[in-house]
Structure 1
Amino acid sequence: MMRYTDFSAHDLLLLLQGLGVSVALFAATTLIGGVIGLGWALLRYYRVPLLAPLAALLAELLKNSPVLVQLFLVFFGLPVLLETDLTPVQAALITLSGNTAAFIYVIAVSAIESVGREQIETARVFGLTRWQTLRRVVAPQAAAFGFGPLAGLLINQLQVTSLISVIGVIDLTKVGAILNLRTLKPFIVWTVIGLLYYLMARLIAAACARVEARLRAHREWKGL
């Protein structure tokens, strides 16, 4: 029979542990998803046969299907398909990285296409290669254009990490569920959990706003 108890000092450590897991997974999946998503966008920029349409199709599937379904498919289905074992953390890492990559791909493609074609044509007239055009003309402007949508995406992906608790990852949401069951004080528990997510989201928004302002200032100073 479960015994209900009040909050203790140990609960603070449990909260910090859950917070650490959520932050670590968010950071890791953002980094991995960012690299993959930008890689897919480059395939489209260079119009690589077969690979560019394949990346577009994969991104379309990932961004238009529920993350929870993707999580179950990876955690329960992938081990059967590959005849291997996946820990809950590994499944969460794969799922959230892929989902983040899909949306970063969309943002990157939109940002690249926002650059005026006349600038790209002018760069080619001056003898710049596609890589030089990308690095010197397209990338600085695309980065400034894409950082606003990227900030919204990151905040959304932070909230999406709360879903990984359903497969047993001891993240911040899972810790909240544990404390709620033990103390039977849902209002206090979920208010604290919600505030922690809110504070993390505000930090992400503030950091992205500062970077975006610097990118825009740099672009204007370069006269691009």
Structure 2
Amino acid sequence: MRYAEFTYYDLLVLLQGLGVSVALFLATTVIGLGVGLAWAMLRYYRTPVLAPLAAAVAELLKNSPVLVQLFLVFFGLPVLLGADLTPVEAALITLSGNTAAFVYVIAASSIESVGRDQIETARVFGLSRWQTLRRVVAPQAAAFGFGPLTGLLINQLQVTSLISVIGVIDLTKVGAILNVRTLQPFIVWTVIGVLYYLMARLIARVCARFETRLRAHSQWKGL
């Protein structure tokens, strides 16, 4: 039985779906940032075996469709591990890995954008590789990379809409449910689209503030 009218319960379901989308986005962003930066450090230190392996994994993840990755993790990984994965766990693994791949590319490019003369000068003054990274390279690389990172985060927010295909009751899945129940697609998908837009604008605004502060302190003032 279908009810064409919207109810108060629909708002609660919509908020629940929004909460799931936001929670997964935040979790995968934190994990992806951590893993991606760790991969970039492997490249910075030119770690044998691990650095090329991280680069190869990142290349594979960033150049393959997220939906295919999602299906491989959800349907294929349990076969390899011999254990079931919930839709949320599969989404967490997939989106974290995909985010990490792009964070790795952004971090590696940002590190390489720092002038070699500054790095050489830091070494002349006796700074270790770690001290050079922390005091010279990292502040400037962060300022260089924050713009691309903002674009990545907004894109990854949109990508979370794909997880509905494996049964995660996120914002998009709730939209599909409400669409079937109310038979009012224009209203339902307009609301869903506006919510994604507002979240994207919030991310852009927060990142813009952080970027402004970073750039204000990123100029290398010497050792």
Q: Distance in 2 between matches of 1:83 and 1:219?
A: 49
- For residues 81-132 of structure 1, what are the alpha-carbon distances to aligned partners after superposition, in whole Å with 9 as ceiling and x for unaligned? 1100100000000000000000000000000000000000000000000000
In structure 1, C-alpha distance between the alignment counterparts of 2:35 and 2:166, rounded to whole Å: 24
In the TM superposition, what is the alpha-carbon distance from 1:4 to its structure 2 partner? 3.4
For 2:176 and 2:47, the matched residues in 1 are separated by 47
Unaligned runs of at least 5 residues, structure 1? none
Q: Which runs of 4+ in 1 moved over 6 A?
A: none
Letter in 2 for 1:84: A
Task: Name 2:179's counterpart in structure 1.
Answer: 180
Amino acid corresponding to residue 210 of structure 1 in structure 2: R
Say yes or no: does 1:158 pair with 2:167.
no
Amino acid at match of 1:55: A
CA contact (8 A) 2:33 2:100 kept: yes
The one-letter code of the counterpart of 1:223 is: K
Shift of 1:184: 0.3
Tell me, what secondary structure is at the counterpart of 1:140?
helix
1:59 paired with 2:58, answer: yes
In the TM superposition, what is the alpha-carbon distance from 1:205 to its structure 2 partner?
0.3
Gapped runs of 5+ residues in structure 2? none
Separation in 2, partners of 1:150, 1:179: 33
| Alignment coverage as a number of residue pairs | 222
Give 1:219 deviation, angstroms: 1.7
Question: 2:38 is matched by which residue type in structure 1?
Answer: G
Distance 1:150 1:7 in 2: 38
C-alpha distance in 2 between matches for 1:60 and 1:219: 29
SS of the residue corresponding to residue 218 of structure 2 reads helix
CA distance, structure 2, for counterparts of residue 28 and residue 47 of structure 1: 29
Q: How does 1:34-183 map to 2 (within 5 A)?
A: 34-183=33-182
Q: Does 2:207 correspond to 1:208?
A: yes
Secondary structure, aligned partner of 1:170: coil
Corresponding position: 1:11 with 2:10: yes
CA distance in 2, matches of 1:68, 1:158: 14
Report deviation, 1:35. 0.2
SS in 1 for 2:64: coil
| Cα deviation digits, residues 49-101 of structure 1 (max 9, x gap) | 00000000000000000000000000000001110010000000000000000
Query: Are 2:4 and 2:184, in contact at CA under 8 Å, matched by a contact in 1?
Result: no
Alpha-carbon distance in structure 1 between the residues aligned to 2:32 and 2:215 = 24
Shift of 1:177: 0.2
**Per-residue CA distance 1:6-38 (angstroms, 9 max, x = gap):** 100011101100000000000000000000000
> Is residue 37–residue 107 contact of structure 2 (8 Å, CA) maintained in 1?
yes
- TM-score under structure 2 length normalisation: 0.98
Structure 2 residue 198 is matched with structure 1 residue 194: no
Report the Cα offset of residue 218 of structure 1: 1.1
Percent identity at matched positions?
Answer: 83
